[in-house]
Amino acid sequence: MPSNPHIIIIGGGASGIILVRQLLHFHPSAHISIVEKKNPWGAGVAYNTPYDFHVLNVRAANMSAFPGKPDDFVNWLKEKKLPYSGAGFVPRKIYGDYLCELAELPAGKKEQVRFIRDEALRVEKRLVHLASGETLRGDFIVIAAGNFLPTKPAAVRDEIAQDKNYHPDPWNYTDLENIGPAEDVLIIGSGLTMTDVALFLHHRGHTGEITSLSIHGFAPEVHGTHISPNETFRDEMRACETLSGYLRTWKKYAASGIGAESLAASIRPFVQELWLKISIPERRQFIEHLRHFWGTARHRVPEQCFSVLEKMQPGQLRFIGGRIKVIGKSAGRFEIFYVPRSYATTTSVKAHHIINCTGPSLHYEKDAPVFLRTMLEEGLVCRDPLRLGLDADSTGQLINPKGGLHADLFAMGSLLRGTLWEITSVPDIRVQAEKLAKLLLGL
Ligand SMILES: Cc1cc2nc3c(=O)[nH]c(=O)nc-3n(C[C@H](O)[C@H](O)[C@H](O)COP(=O)(O)OP(=O)(O)OC[C@H]3O[C@@H](n4cnc5c(N)ncnc54)[C@H](O)[C@@H]3O)c2cc1C
């Protein structure tokens, strides 16, 4: 391995920027090129919102970019004289500013770290071809291309998807501005993206009905104020070897009166360890039957968002569980036919607009950036057995379709969902970035 390898990072979101900082921490003259096609450095999709009411769903105290400096973000807030404590939920755009500042390197570093505003179009062995025509040659390539737009649900036919009132991108607020305040809206999905959109509509003075339709119909739960991890539960979980062991232990503690939020918080830093221990069929079982329950226990909304959602219910905002069968349109309104969760007969809801809030797409063959789709088509990389991301080992080193490890290709963040499960948020990304930086630098 060269003593100072050239590392190319595709994607300048949180993962890419945190990796740059880790590489420079371990090797002050590391040679890096980072390519970002459109977003401000560090912002990605998550922190690229202009609205104060879109806040982090993790407390500030747990949002440092560096595992070794847990107070880094809170100290940054203090330095900027911003009125947020470690226990608070800070506007995401402020977190975007923090990450953007991490991308501002001292003048002396500008030659060794190139921030390239361009799109990666093709990856070949150690080469990255950019839309501008430039080709980068590196020793290692790290794919940190993150969260893709939600995939189009199968029940949304092309003719509906092309309608101007069908909104495929829930993060495109300019497009959502076209929704009239008195119009009825159907949101497909009930998670954090739905929450973002409901808050957006609320703050614009929306008076029309908003229906959230998802498979289970769960409404988001609120972050509790006094959550203390239970160490005995955590240790018992870590001693288990099977999914049924995890479930038995969880149920035992839940029956003793400990809430799902405390249980989830107790094992949160160890989820990757628990995931890596169980077999692929067990992981599949978890995804099929338990993923939504885990998601509701773990992905909570801050009180300030929850209280707005509560105020909107049940008069304006309602949650229904069911599976969409077909969508029609007549007299300026969509009619969404769905089979309710109770398996009653098909019923329908009408709306002027449909917003796809099903979360970042896992359908890479259709929705991933073109360079990644080509890599999949050409058999350079492959999907993990659960098809949640790319196949890789636990460090992020990518695996080829024959099962061999690529010596020079790595992935970060949500691309590793199948391998590590909990790897999409900053507390996990920063740990991966530190480990990956050491690995790439041969430390
Ligand atoms: C709406 C939302 C809110 C979230 N809130 C939180 C939160 O509060 N706390 C938390 O910890 N996590 C949160 N997350 C999780 C989030 O995944 C991570 O925090 C983090 O932003 C992920 O960063 P990333 O760099 O891996 O991906 P992304 O942020 O998606 O960045 C990937 C970047 O790659 C670029 N890119 C893609 N293809 C190319 C190409 N071909 N060439 C060049 N550039 C390319 C994209 O433009 C993008 O900027 C949230 C996620 C979402 C979607």
- Tell me the per-residue pLDDT of 179-200, one tens digit each, with 9 for 90 and over: 999 999 999 999 999 999 999 9
pLDDT at position 195, please?
97
**Residue in 295, 285, 412, 23 with CA at minimum distance from that of residue 420:** 412
* CA 213/CA 321 separation, integer angstroms: 6
* CA 406/CA 399 separation, integer angstroms: 6
pLDDT at position 229, please?
87
* 177 and 113 part of one domain: no
Of 298, 328, 345, the last residue of a domain is 298
Q: How far is ligand 1, taken at its centre, from the CA of residue 316, in Å?
A: 31
The dihedral sign for the CA sequence 144, 149, 152, 153: positive
* 13 ligand 1 Cβ < 6 A: yes
* CA 344/CA 28 separation, integer angstroms: 63
In a domain, 1, yes or no: no
Pocket test of ligand 1: the residue of 35, 37, 98, 172 to mutate, having most ligand atoms within 8 Å of its CB, is: 37
Order across the sheet with 127-130: list the strands: 120-124, 127-130, 135-137
92: region left, alpha or beta (phi > 0 left; psi from -120 to 50 alpha): alpha
Of 253, 281, 298, the last residue of a domain is 298
pLDDT at position 227, please?
78
* CA 379/CA 360 separation, integer angstroms: 23
Q: Which amino acid is at 416?
A: L
pLDDT at position 295, please?
87
Q: Residue 95 is part of a domain; what is its CATH number? A: 3.50.50.60
pLDDT at position 218, please?
87
Q: How far is ligand 1, taken at its centre, from the CA of residue 215, in Å?
A: 25
Q: How far is ligand 1, taken at its centre, from the CA of residue 59, in Å?
A: 18
Q: How far is ligand 1, taken at its centre, from the CA of residue 2, in Å?
A: 30
* 42 ligand 1 Cβ < 6 A: no
Atom of ligand 1 at shortest range from CA of 63: 11
pLDDT at position 342, please?
75
* 311 and 374 part of one domain: no
* 348 and 403 part of one domain: no
* 351 and 376 part of one domain: no
Atom of ligand 1 at shortest range from CA of 49: 1
pLDDT at position 294, please?
92
Atom 16 of ligand 1: nearest residue by CA position: 425
Atom 29 of ligand 1: nearest residue by CA position: 44
Residues of the domain holding 200: 158-222+301-356
* 423 and 384 part of one domain: yes
* 388 and 350 part of one domain: no
Atom 13 of ligand 1: nearest residue by CA position: 425
* 18 ligand 1 Cβ < 6 A: no
* 95 and 167 part of one domain: no
Residue 354 CB coordination number (10 Å): 26
Q: Which two tokens stand for residue 299?
A: 């992905």
* CA 291/CA 169 separation, integer angstroms: 24
Q: What is the pTM of this model?
A: 0.96
Helix (H, G, I), strand (E, B) or coil at 146: coil
* 17 ligand 1 Cβ < 6 A: no
Pocket test of ligand 1: the residue of 147, 417, 422 to mutate, having most ligand atoms within 8 Å of its CB, is: 147
In a domain, 153, yes or no: no
* 313 and 281 part of one domain: no
**Residue in 84, 47, 123 with CA at minimum distance from that of residue 304:** 84
The dihedral sign for the CA sequence 387, 390, 396, 399: positive
* 48 ligand 1 Cβ < 6 A: no
Q: Which amino acid is at 101?
A: E
Domain total of the chain:
3
**Residue in 82, 88, 94 with CA at minimum distance from that of residue 51:** 94
* CA 89/CA 191 separation, integer angstroms: 17
**Residue in 182, 145, 191, 141 with CA at minimum distance from that of residue 38:** 145
* 144 ligand 1 Cβ < 6 A: yes
The H-or-E segment that residue 12 falls in is none
Q: Which two tokens stand for residue 326?
A: 């077909």
* 32 and 138 part of one domain: yes
Q: Which two tokens stand for residue 188?
A: 């497909």
Per-residue pLDDT tens digits of the chain, which is 443 residues long = 678 899 999 999 999 999 999 999 999 989 999 999 999 999 999 999 999 999 999 999 999 999 999 999 999 999 999 999 999 999 999 999 999 999 998 777 777 999 999 999 999 989 999 999 999 999 999 999 989 999 999 999 999 999 999 999 999 999 999 999 999 999 999 999 999 999 999 999 999 999 999 998 988 989 887 778 899 999 999 999 999 999 999 999 999 999 999 999 999 999 999 999 999 999 999 999 999 889 888 889 999 999 999 999 878 999 999 999 999 999 999 999 999 987 778 999 999 999 999 999 999 999 999 999 999 999 999 999 999 999 999 999 999 999 999 999 999 999 999 999 999 999 999 999 999 999 999 99
**Residue in 261, 231, 263 with CA at minimum distance from that of residue 250:** 263
* 76 and 100 part of one domain: yes
Residue 160 C-beta-side C-alpha neighbours within 13 Å: 21
* 127 and 189 part of one domain: no
